[in-house]
Amino acid sequence: MTEEPFLRMEDIVKEFPGVVANDHVDFSVRRGEIHGLLGENGAGKSTLMKILYGLYSQDGGDIYLDGERLELASPQNAIDAGVGMVHQHFMLIPKLTVAENIVLGDREPAAAFASDGGSDGRLPDSLRTNPVVQALAQRFSLGLEAPESRIHDLAGQYGFDVDVGAKVWQLDVGQQQRVEILKALYRDVDLIILDEPTAVLTPTEAEQLFESLQQLADEGLSIIFITHKLQEVEAITDRVTVLREGKKVGTVPTADITQADLAEMMVGREVLFSLEKDPVEIGDPVLRARGLRAENERGIEALSGVDLTVREGEIVGIAGVSGNGQTELAEAIAGLRDLTAGEIVVEGIDLTGASPRAFVDNDVSFVPEDRLRYGCAADLSVMHNATMKDFRNGQFGDGQFLDYPGLREYAETLVEEFDVRGVHDVTDVEAGELSGGNLQKLILAREIHREPDLLVANQPTRGVDVGAIEFIRESLLAQRTEGTGVVLISEDLDEIMDLSDRVLVIYEGEFVHETVPEEADRGRVGLEMTGGSGEDGVEASAEAAAGAGEAR
Amino acid sequence: MVGFVAGLLDATVRAATVLMLAGLGEVISERAGVLNLGVEGMMLVGALSGFITTVVTGSYWLGFGVGILLGMALALIHAFLCISLKSNQVISGVMLTLLGTGITTFLGQQWVSESIEGFPQIAVPVLVDLPVLGDALFRSTATDYLAIALVPVVWYFLFRTNLGLETISVGEDPEMADTMGVDVFKMRYLAVIVGGGFAGAAGAHLSLAFSQLWVPGMTAGRGWIAVALVIFAQWRPERILVGAYLFGLLDALQLRSQSLELTLGAGAPLASLLNPVLEFVFHPTIMATYPYLATIAVLAYAVIRTRSDQLAVPSALLEAYVRSAVVPVMDYGNPHETVHRVLRSQ
Amino acid sequence: MNVELDIGAREDVPTWLVYGTPVFTVLAALAVSSVALVALDVSPVAAYSVMFVETLTSEFGLTETTVKAIPLVLTGLAVYLPLRAGLWNIGAEGQLILGGLAGTWIGLNVSAPGYALLVAMFLGAGVAGAFWAAVPAWLRAKYDINEIITTLLLTFVALNLKNYLIRGPMQGGAGTFPQTEQFSGAATIPSLFGNVHAGLLVALLMVAVAYVLVTQTRLGFEVTFVGSNPEAATQAGISRYKVYILVFVIGGLFAGFAGIGEIAGVQGRFRADFEPGYGFTAIVIALLGRNGALKVLLAGFFFALLIVGGSSMEVALGVPAALTEVIQALVILFLITAEFFKRYSVSLRVDRDPGTSPATRTGSDA
């Protein structure tokens, strides 16, 4: 391991409309090093790495690899320079074989036409090296033998257990990830970026991945490991760089720092909004959920037996780093995701397995995290979106007919009461034309105005301007005063602490810690969120990651 | 009976060639992610242009070539609309069928009474004397042989060449193919145009070899059957061969089923009960529905029984590709789909 | 030098583009078609004046256009309603045929007093059309099987079924012509004025029904929502299953009405060669009128005018009527081309720095 950095990114600046994603970031990686890149969502990790992989171009700053300045206009440039990336969503075609996925785009001719001659002497050299013959062979033949044996060798070298002739759909997720890594290795990269690679893996698969990565690093490859799990940083990385709000907080050798310090670097302490929280009489349970289990889109268990009780006038804050089962939990208690086990009772009515409509009818309101995808119909008017749930309500006409002037009036009331700006005419302005904050206010207005018994809000303030954030938080508190049971899911720890009556920390689909804001130890909560082992140690969650650490 | 079977097989082979050519072209186009519902129109254009060329020049090979070229020309419009303008593939295809039908009817009227000397039948020595199959398979036109020969060629192209691999990749995941350096637009254009050439060839075969005359609308829905055939064959060229013969056999049977005694003898048990059923089932026009019903059944079976990531249908079929992002096909109710910024803007 | 084409989604569509598009597309289609006319030595001005001016100014032309518009508007609605929910009904033609067959059977085999027979015929036709549309709708709602393919294929099944029935069990009348018996007076739709039969009232009524359904009812609200964002609709507790089935069933009903209206109002009997192609023209009509039932009505009349004008042109100038098909196709062609410019703003950028040319593919690097 040389001290001279292999990769240097200097003074990187990248702005998106309204956000500085990377604010003069310096970042360097040594040869043969596994370098952790740590930060919350939106801290700028992905942006920085997309710049390095040629997907974004920086507004300022330079990138040097092995002393040479890089101009990266596309991933192709990055790969040619020796930088590979393994995305969270695999870039593989399930119907093709491992080898076909890897050689796609390379135009490898059949063995008989291989330009280096080699093993096959069936064709005379003069014919084989003829440019026309080469051009034709590259298009109208396909040589998989040489690549297959090379992939096989690479796999053997790093201890990957992958059948090169298998179709990708036949492989499990861990193997697919190894194919992604092989794809980079096959193109002779010197540096691999792994974007939250364990997010899709089981603990055992993660363990295997760590072993492979260690081997790659021993062979001299540099690895950038994006994560927000402290346990993983500790288990696998040599050094770690922490980003927060687009700025670099620092780079430290992993051995020299405790998890608690890392958590603090990552979460930070910021000036809090001061919010008046009136004391509220907490009433009967609104939601009683027992043993909830659910799977994510890939069919992997994302929610592993969660109990959750929410009472009238109570805000239960769910803290955690994204991807630990929050989305599945929110959708489960809003009736949108099928449970594999468990039961949900709302106001004494068993709604386990009921339709989304039953949840709506039983006064469950939901603010989804993906506003545009689930929260609204972007090309319909504000009026349509404001009344998306309440149009069934008797106040808008009997029978099959709808009182459109009534809907309009109702929408206008919501727009006014919740200060949704940019709406001159509720029937003319489309929801998709509103800014993020105003759209969120509209959605919140719709969900709150129907006087729900239970309000589930997932990331209600993400991507929303400061003014709207304050408004939304106050609205949630007002709901609490009205006696609604509120489930608030957020990655913003301050928000959770400010608003909640009770805080639950979710990690890998389970609640690992419960506290109340007044007594909460922020460092402890930060550790629990990231799977770090606190003083008491949280057995269930730490086990897997600790095991992975030992495996080294 | 032997004579009947031989005649039936012969008709099957003739009927299958058209479907095989058009079906193979459609496989290539759909494998690249572009549905072509304009086959019927491209076939008609191929049929008429090939016919006119042959009448004028006397060369049926030249006619065949012109038919292919004009099929490609029509496909180029489809490619431009669907790939460059990201239009709805269904609408564009239906439009091209309408256009092809209209133009050929409009321009073709004066050619109806013309006669040509089209592709002659060529007998393969020795093999043609085989019993039953000999005449059907080995006394055929050059285009019949060509269609059969193209099945392994298309199979080889798709599964054993780099261009084939790239074609499949742009039909499965254009975004991924793009990051791997595959030129998505070029591959899709190529596939659609080659597919149109096959449709043009199918049409030219129809007018120059199959019936050796021109009648407006002479494809009689065979283009639509070809579209169905591709689904029936689950997008595999070798199954196009089997499917084309199967659909061809149904076609041939339709004309002959009446001469077959497919009912039970009057004395047989249950005759009075079963005979009306048999008559219905083997009625020519009822048999004509079987290719469509079989296709729906195969489609339904595949969708219900197969995991979604293993479905034979190309994953990006009907999806337009915008550089660095796949956007859903133009949805006329929904003009606000997210279009990611062109990432390479610098 | 590097030329780059930048394509971005438009946020707002300029008003002139919204209203100008249909006019522009029609004019462009006519302009291109005039090439064919010139090739036939026919003056485009004369041809188009026969096609439009004479058709619109003569009583004959007007009534013919109205009669033609009846099935076009109804099948247009049959495509329009599913389109509102984001689904494509490519098979209105098959639903029309099935409706015609069922209505014909009732007309020939049932006797009922007064207008009851006609009502029964329309009901039977509607139910048959609805059934034919319900199959692909169910396959889509339940199993997510692409409705474009199934509606299309079922159309060809319907056409063959028609051939079977009209040449077989339903064949009747004098001789062995492939046709049914002539309808009795009671089974014939009475004339409204001139040659225009009362099916016009049905078509107008259905336009009103579709209009009210989409803009005034709860179901219409749900249909609009599902068509715009099915996932948000599910979140709101709207059943996609119900919406998908209903839009197709109602659409099929409209197409069935179109079938029996044409048979009992114009033809008088079901002939085996009845294959009007309205169901395919309907796709274009629904596309042009996708913003509302009233626009479907207008588009239906426009295409009726095109078809009627086309045949007058054939009679007067010897121009083959197939030209109207070409014009129809060209209208669609220009419509979808214009659609692109409506959805995307395109700007061309020329970059004179050769260094940023796209990475060139290296040959074999094994």
Q: Return the pLDDT at B147.
A: 96
Q: Return the pLDDT at B323.
A: 65
pLDDT reading at B333 higher than 60: no
pLDDT reading at A548 higher than 60: no
A-C CB pairs within 8 A amount to 100
Average pLDDT of chain B?
Answer: 86
Q: Taking residues B62-83, what's their average pLDDT? A: 97
Q: Return the pLDDT at C251.
A: 97
Q: Return the pLDDT at A271.
A: 43
pLDDT reading at A381 higher than 90: yes
Residues of chain C scoring pLDDT < 50: 1-2, 351-366
Of B85, B106, B331, the CB nearest to C320: B106
Nearest-5° Cα angle at B214, B213 to B218: 115
Q: Whose CA is closest to B147, among B226, B76, B213, B35?
A: B226
In the 3-class helix/strand/coil scheme, how is chain C assigned residue by residue? CEEEEEEEECCCCCHHHHHHHHHHHHHHHHHHHHHHHHHCCCCHHHHHHHHHHHHHHCHHHHHHHHHHHHHHHHHHHHHHHHHHCCCCCCCHHHHHHHHHHHHHHHHHHCCCCCCHHHHHHHHHHHHHHHHHHHHHHHHHHHHCCCHHHHHHHHHHHHHHHHHHHHHCCCCCCCCCCCECCCCCHHHCCCEEECCEECHHHHHHHHHHHHHHHHHHEHHHHHHHHHHHCHHHHHHCCCCHHHHHHHHHHHHHHHHHHHHHHHHHHHHCCCECCCCCCHHHHHHHHHHHCCCCHHHHHHHHHHHHHHHHHHHHHHHHHCCCCHHHHHHHHHHHHHHHHHHHHHHEEEEEEEECCHHHCCCCCCCCCC
Q: Taking residues B283-296, what's their average pLDDT? A: 90
Q: Which amino acid is at C250?
A: I
Q: Which pair of structure tokens corresponds to residue A269? A: 């302490």
Three-class secondary structure of residue B48 per DSSP:
helix
Give how far B95 is from chain C: nearest CA, Å. Answer: 5
Pinpoint the alpha helices (H) of A239-318. Answer: 259-267
Contact B336 C9 (CB under 8 A): yes
Tokens 């579709």 -> residue: C210
Of A104, A106, A169, the CB nearest to B309: A169
What are the tens digits of pLDDT across the range A239-255?
999 998 889 999 999 99
- In a domain? residue C168: yes
Of B162, B173, B334, the CB nearest to A379: B334
Q: Return the pLDDT at A410.
A: 94
Q: How confident is the model at residue A467 (pLDDT cuts 50, 70, 90)?
A: confident
Residue A19 CB contacts under 8 Å (≥ 6 apart), including other chains: A246
Distance CA A501, CA A485 (A): 11
Q: Return the pLDDT at A223.
A: 96
Burial class (CB in 10 A: 0-12, 13-18, 19+), A550: exposed
pLDDT reading at A276 higher than 90: no
Q: Return the pLDDT at A397.
A: 84
Q: Return the pLDDT at A45.
A: 87
Q: Return the pLDDT at C266.
A: 94
pLDDT reading at B346 higher than 80: no
Q: How confident is the model at residue A528 (pLDDT cuts 50, 70, 90)?
A: confident
Q: Taking residues B89-96, what's their average pLDDT? A: 91
pTM: predicted TM-score of the whole model, two decimal places: 0.85
- In a domain? residue C12: no
Comparison of pLDDT for A171 and B271, the residue scoring more? A171
Q: How confident is the model at residue B331 (pLDDT cuts 50, 70, 90)?
A: very low
Q: How confident is the model at residue B224 (pLDDT cuts 50, 70, 90)?
A: very high
Burial C148-170 (b: 16+ CB within 10 A, else e): bbbbbbbbbbbbbbbbbbbbeeb
C133 near B CB under 8 A: no
Give how far C157 is from chain B: nearest CA, Å. Answer: 5
Domains and CATH numbers, chain A: 1-82+189-268 (3.40.50.300), 374-450 (no CATH)
Q: Taking residues A101-110, what's their average pLDDT? A: 89
Average pLDDT of chain A?
Answer: 86
A56 near B CB under 8 A: yes
What are the tens digits of pLDDT across the range A359-374?
999 999 999 988 888 8
- In a domain? residue B333: no
- In a domain? residue B340: no
Q: Return the pLDDT at A361.
A: 93
Q: How confident is the model at residue A283 (pLDDT cuts 50, 70, 90)?
A: confident
Average pLDDT of chain C?
Answer: 87
Q: Whose CA is closest to C338, among B335, A377, B100?
A: B335
Q: Which of A470-479, B47-56, B154-163 has the lowest mean pLDDT?
A: A470-479
Q: Which residue of C has its CA nearest to A72?
A: C356
Q: Return the pLDDT at C7.
A: 62
CATH of the domain at B121: 1.10.3470
Contact list in A for residue C366 (CB cut-off 8 A) is 108, 114-116, 143, 146-147
Q: Return the pLDDT at C241.
A: 94
Of C225, C239, C364, the CB nearest to A109: C364
Q: Which residue of C has its CA nearest to A118?
A: C366
Q: Return the pLDDT at A201.
A: 75
Q: Taking residues A379-398, what's their average pLDDT? A: 90
Parent domain of C276:
68-309
Q: Return the pLDDT at C1.
A: 43
Distance CA C143, CA B238 (A): 28
- In a domain? residue C47: no
Q: How confident is the model at residue B329 (pLDDT cuts 50, 70, 90)?
A: very low
What are the tens digits of pLDDT across the range B135-149?
777 888 999 999 999
Q: Which residue of A has its CA nearest to B172?
A: A93
Residue window 88-147, chain A: list those with CB within 8 Å of chain C: 105-109, 114-116, 134, 138, 143, 146-147
Q: Which residue of C has its CA nearest to B107?
A: C320
Residue A184 CB contacts under 8 Å (≥ 6 apart), including other chains: A79, A84, A85, A86, A192
Of C160, C164, C332, the CB nearest to B91: C332
Number of domains making up chain C: 1
Chain B positions contacting chain A at CB under 8 Å are: 157, 160-166, 168-169, 172-173, 175-177, 179-182, 307, 309-310, 315, 333-336, 338, 343-344, 346
Of A146, A336, A392, the CB nearest to C366: A146
What are the tens digits of pLDDT across the range A418-434?
988 888 899 989 998 88
C326 near B CB under 8 A: yes
Comparison of pLDDT for A504 and A143, the residue scoring more? A504
Q: Which residue of B has its CA nearest to A94?
A: B309
Contact between residue B68 and residue B204 where contact means Cβ atoms under 8 Å apart:
yes
- In a domain? residue C74: yes
A170 near B CB under 8 A: no
Q: Which amino acid is at B186?
A: K
Q: Which pair of structure tokens corresponds to residue B126? A: 């020795």
Q: Which of B25-39, B118-132, C289-303 has the lowest mean pLDDT?
A: B118-132
Of B163, B166, B179, the CB nearest to A75: B179
Q: Taking residues B161-175, what's their average pLDDT? A: 95
Q: Which pair of structure tokens corresponds to residue A251? A: 């780079």
Contact list in C for residue B92 (CB cut-off 8 A) is 336
- In a domain? residue C299: yes
Q: Return the pLDDT at A275.
A: 65
ipTM of this complex prediction, to 2 decimal places: 0.85
Contact A402 C218 (CB under 8 A): yes
What are the tens digits of pLDDT across the range A31-78?
999 999 988 767 888 889 989 998 888 999 999 999 899 998 888 888
Number of domains making up chain B: 1
Q: Which of A11-15, A504-508, C12-16, C149-153 has the lowest mean pLDDT?
A: C12-16
Give how far B336 is from chain A: nearest CA, Å. Answer: 6
Highest averaged pLDDT of the listed ranges A161-165, A197-201, A538-542, B49-53: B49-53
Q: Return the pLDDT at B337.
A: 29
Contact between residue A101 and residue B173 where contact means Cβ atoms under 8 Å apart:
no
Highest averaged pLDDT of the listed ranges B109-118, B164-173, C314-323: B164-173
Q: Which region, left, alpha or beta, applies to residue A61 given φ > 0 means left and ψ of -120 to 50 means alpha?
A: left
pLDDT reading at B321 higher than 90: no
- In a domain? residue C339: no
Q: Which residue of B has its CA nearest to A109?
A: B162
Q: Return the pLDDT at A179.
A: 94
Contact between residue C74 and residue C254 where contact means Cβ atoms under 8 Å apart:
yes
**Testing the interface with B: which of C157, C287, C331, C349 to mutate, by most B Cβ within 10 A?**
C157
